[in-house]
Amino acid sequence: MSKIKVENLRDKIEGNELDLSLCNLTDVPVKDLAAVPKATVLDLSCNNLTILPPEFCTLTHLVKVDLSKNQLISLPEDVGRLSNLQHLDLYNNKLTSLPVSFSYLKNLRWLDLKDNPLEVTLAKAAGDCLDEKQCKQCATRVLQHMKALKEESDRERERQLLKEREQEKKREAKQREREAREKEALKKKKAEEKERKRKEYQAQVAAQAAQEQQKKKKEEKKKKASQNHDKKKALPSVPQAKRSACSRLFSLLLRLLLLLVIGAVGAIVACQLTELSKESLCAPINLYAHEALSWARDLEVVQHVIQKISDFRA
């Protein structure tokens, strides 16, 4: 706000010039100025302005602006929007630098930057501004200087953007690598878990198979033992029956043989010792007995028996 109220700007307009100098202003009445677009020349010198509001850059109708003898420490960043500005007086302020957008003031033909604590390179570009010619040269050189600064600023911003992009790419690459590692680790963990479960399952199956095999062997062993026991129980009866039958058969044969021997011996004795020896029936018996005795004389036991029989006949 201004310390004095500008009641009627129209009273201060003469042609296309609006004189607000020596009004002890601390703020620029931008809205009021925008309402009088025919005032293309604006004099704000000899006030107490320290800054210009950003809205000041919307007053694109201004052609000439006098801001000398104020306390300005900076200009708005968008000052370059004042595209019609041709004449700018900044004499005796507290400016040290100009915004980069100052290079957009392509129609600027006159500039005074005397008595400002400008940085060295800007002060060198501005020159002395002691007369009309030097102020025109100041406008040209400052615009060139600010254009170079803007280009350098653009290059620096581009380098910074490229650097940020590179860093972002590196971050993204690292992020992808980290995600890939995490994904691979998760995949490996799942594979290991699956392999562990598979081994556990195989171990369980093998254990069950071993148990079944062991159970089967036990059952077979038990069955075999039972069969062997049954065989052992059955085997004695079979040989015993066989032995009993053989014994009976042998006994029968032995009896028959004994009967035959007794009958033969009886017949031989009867034919040798009784009156029957003269009968024709005993003739073959005596013959066979005589031949048998002739064959058996060589045997010691038979000789002994024959001797006993001879002694008995005598």
Q: What is the DSSP string of 119-138?
A: -HHHHHHH----SHHHHHHH
DSSP 8-state assignment for residue 10: G
- Hey, what amino acid is at 231? K
pLDDT value of residue 281: 63
| pTM, entire model | 0.55
- Hey, what amino acid is at 132? E
Rounded Cα distance between 53 and 49, Å, is: 10
The DSSP H or E segment spanning 251 is: helix 132-273
How does strand 17-19 pair with strand 64-66?
A: unpaired
Domain assignments of the chain as residue spans, ordered by start: 9-150, 253-313
CA distances to 17, 66, 71, 89, 216 from 93, in Å: 22, 12, 5, 10, 111
Report whether 57 contacts 81 (CB < 8 A): yes
9-150: which CATH architecture? Alpha-Beta Horseshoe (3.80)
**Mean pLDDT, range 198-219, rounded to an integer:** 88
Rounded Cα distance between 259 and 255, Å, is: 6
Residues 6+ apart with CB under 8 A from 233: none
Q: Give residue-wise pLDDT tens across range 123-145.
A: 999 999 999 999 999 999 999 99
The sheet carrying 64-66 orders its strands as 13-14, 17-19, 41-43, 64-66, 87-89, 110-112
Q: Give residue-wise pLDDT tens across range 21-56.
A: 999 999 999 999 999 999 999 999 999 999 999 999
pLDDT value of residue 4: 42
pLDDT value of residue 42: 97
With 80 as the cut, is the pLDDT of residue 289 above it?
no
With 60 as the cut, is the pLDDT of residue 301 above it?
no
